[in-house]
């Protein structure tokens, strides 16, 4: 069993490193995608009326789930005196979702690095 230490590991070549960048950008931005629902006009009504847009009954549950998703950032903003919907609140929510995305990216990078170390090719004899 060949166990290598971090000092013995070979650096990844540029092709492998560049091929992973789109994956990491995707994983970094995915937690921010639910925030798009806040941009839909009249996307949330608790008591729909006949004059509401047709899509309200579909967007209201998603809007509510997204509001629960960003609630920790909203609570932090409220403690800091930043009202929901303000530019400061948007910045706090983007930082919050970016932190979640960064955590996912670092976890995936650690998992991929562990599998690269575990699956080293056997050395062939000359």
In a domain, 106, yes or no: yes
Contact 94, 29 (CB under 8 A): no
| 7 or 77, greater pLDDT | 77
Q: Average the pLDDT over 3-21 and give the result.
A: 52
In a domain, 12, yes or no: no
Q: Average the pLDDT over 87-111 and give the result.
A: 86
User: What is the reported pTM?
Assistant: 0.63
Contact 89, 83 (CB under 8 A): yes
Domain count for the chain: 1
In a domain, 10, yes or no: no
In a domain, 114, yes or no: yes
Domain hosting 96: range is: 32-118
DSSP-H helix ranges across the chain: 14-29, 56-69, 71-80, 87-118
Residues 6+ apart with CB under 8 A from 96: 70, 72, 73, 76
């Amino acid at each position: 069993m060949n166990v290598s230490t971090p000092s013995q590991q070979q650096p990844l070549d540029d092709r492998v490193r560049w091929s992973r960048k789109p994956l990491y950008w995707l994983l970094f931005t995915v937690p921010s995608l639910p925030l798009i629902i806040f941009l839909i006009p009249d996307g949330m009504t608790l008591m729909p009326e006949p004059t509401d847009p047709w899509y309200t009954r579909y967007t209201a549950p998603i809007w509510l789930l997204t509001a629960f998703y960003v609630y920790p950032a909203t609570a932090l903003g409220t403690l800091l005196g930043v009202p929901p919907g303000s530019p400061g609140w948007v910045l706090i929510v983007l930082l919050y979702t970016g932190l979640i995305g960064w955590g996912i990216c670092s976890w995936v990078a650690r998992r991929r690095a562990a599998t690269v170390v575990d699956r080293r090719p056997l050395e062939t004899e000359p």
